[in-house]
């Protein structure tokens, strides 16, 4: 297949996206696909249009080209109006499918998906609606409540109505403060004192106009991939220090990950059932990853859904797939397969 792997972009997760995209592109090429790696925002200036998906391909050179734009992101975001980089849409139209290895702003919030729908470009992952719903943590929390998916109590706070204390928001300490539409735990804080709360609110608002403040649940952390409506084995995430923040997610050796998680059969079925319910409540398609907490009494809480889960060497979905006997490359092909089926049904 001719495949464009889209990575990079303008979000706070740009660096992780590049790692995901590189690993996916390499795996697909090892499987014999004519995959190329491109930055969705900066594009590729020079393309051999007689052979845009070559059998011989220098992936490392492509990665270096993408990274060469890293220092230009913030300046160009202020001045540039057009999102898609040079030649990106033309390349994507010529591909059999686009593998979205994007994370965070614009790549995971439904905007790219909606654009591709209008242009008739097939892509991996959920459509624009599910992507948008899952990206907004405040909105997804409301849908969880209405859909019978247990989730921590919380409130949505706006920068224009910013308050100083947790009590003013009707919340008790400790609590969790996080940007409403961020990812990879960027800007997420656990506030145990009023001073920490004030700092947490300031940091979260430095990323976005809206933040979610929710009850802190002390317990075990889990994640469950859902592929084509089927729950994968549960993985438990136990950071050696602190919580599952950006550093612990992507720095090897900082987190103990156990898959399948050590749970009773009843607990496993219950959590997987909630994962599938959350997947449908948020109108996800093809695949996603649902994150959970479980307290000491065994009560489960759904935290959020990820519509384009990380595909880095430390990412969770590939570890879950491995328990099913699926290699990383096999997983990449599986995600393409279920995504193509979605477009064939339309």
- Is residue 304 part of the annotated active site? The answer reads yes
- Is residue 225 part of the annotated active site? The answer reads no
Kindly name the residue from 8, 9, 11, 13 that is annotated as catalytic: 13
Average confidence (pLDDT) over 271-294: 97
SS3 106: coil
Kindly name the residue from 123, 216, 289, 315 that is annotated as catalytic: 289
- Given a cut of 90, is residue 341 above it in pLDDT? yes
pLDDT at 245: 47
Q: What is the dihedral of CA 133, 137, 143, 146, to 10 degrees?
A: 180
Q: What secondary structure does DSSP assign to 20-77, as a single string?
A: HHHHHHHHHHHTT-EEEEEETTTB-S---TTSSS-SS--HHHHHHHHHTTGGGHHHHH
As given in the structure block, the two tokens for residue 223 are 């994640």
Each residue of 120-170: pLDDT tens digit? 999 999 999 999 999 988 899 999 999 999 999 989 888 877 787 888 888
Average confidence (pLDDT) over 183-196: 79
Q: Locate tokens 């995209």: which residue?
A: 21
Average confidence (pLDDT) over 57-83: 94
pLDDT at 247: 46
As given in the structure block, the two tokens for residue 194 are 């009023």
- Given a cut of 90, is residue 204 above it in pLDDT? no
Q: How far is CA 177 from the centre of its chain?
A: 19
As given in the structure block, the two tokens for residue 218 are 């002390």
> Rounded to the nearest 5 degrees, what angle is found at the Cα of 276, between the Cα atoms of 271 and 281?
120
Gap between the Cα atoms of 179 and 196, Å rounded = 16
Kindly name the residue from 11, 184, 315, 339 that is annotated as catalytic: 184
Kindly name the residue from 43, 110, 225, 310 that is annotated as catalytic: 310
Q: Considering only residues 191 and 182, tell me which one the structure prediction assigns the higher pLDDT.
A: 191
Each residue of 223-253: pLDDT tens digit? 999 999 999 999 999 977 655 444 445 455 6
- Global pTM reads 0.89
């Amino acid at each position: 297949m001719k495949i464009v792997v889209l990575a990079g972009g303008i979000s706070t997760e740009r660096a992780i996206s590049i790692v995901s995209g590189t690993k996916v592109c390499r795996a697909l090429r090892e499987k014999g696909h004519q995959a190329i790696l491109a930055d969705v925002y900066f594009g590729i200036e020079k393309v051999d249009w007689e052979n845009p998906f070559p059998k011989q391909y220098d992936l490392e050179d492509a990665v270096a080209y993408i990274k060469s734009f890293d220092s230009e992101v913030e300046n160009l975001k202020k001045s540039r109006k057009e999102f898609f980089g040079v030649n990106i849409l033309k390349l994507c139209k010529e591909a059999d499918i686009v593998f979205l290895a994007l994370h965070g702003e614009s790549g995971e919030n439904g905007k790219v998906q909606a654009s591709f729908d209008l242009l008739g470009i097939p892509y991996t992952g959920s459509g624009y609606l599910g992507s948008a719903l899952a990206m907004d943590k405040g909105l997804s929390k409301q849908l969880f409540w209405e859909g019978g998916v247990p989730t921590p109590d919380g409130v949505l706070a706006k920068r224009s109505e910013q308050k100083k204390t947790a009590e003013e928001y009707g919340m008790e300490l400790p609590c969790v403060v996080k940007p409403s539409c961020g990812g990879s735990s960027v800007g997420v804080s656990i506030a145990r004192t009023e001073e920490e709360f004030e700092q947490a609110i300031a940091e979260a608002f430095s990323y976005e106009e809206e933040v979610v403040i929710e009850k802190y649940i002390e317990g075990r952390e889990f994640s469950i991939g859902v592929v084509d409506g089927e729950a994968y084995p549960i993985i438990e995430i136990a950071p050696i220090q602190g919580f599952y923040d950006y550093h612990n997610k992507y720095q090897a050796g900082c987190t103990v990950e156990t898959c399948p998680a050590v749970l009773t059969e009843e607990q496993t079925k219950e959590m997987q059932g909630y994962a599938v319910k959350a997947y449908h409540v948020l109108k996800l398609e093809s695949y996603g990853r649902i994150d959970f907490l479980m307290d000491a009494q065994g009560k489960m809480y759904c935290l959020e859904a990820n519509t384009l889960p990380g595909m880095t060497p430390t990412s969770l979905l590939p570890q879950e797939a491995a328990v099913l006997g699926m290699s990383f490359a096999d997983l990449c092909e599986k995600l393409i397969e279920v995504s193509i089926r979605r477009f064939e049904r339309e």
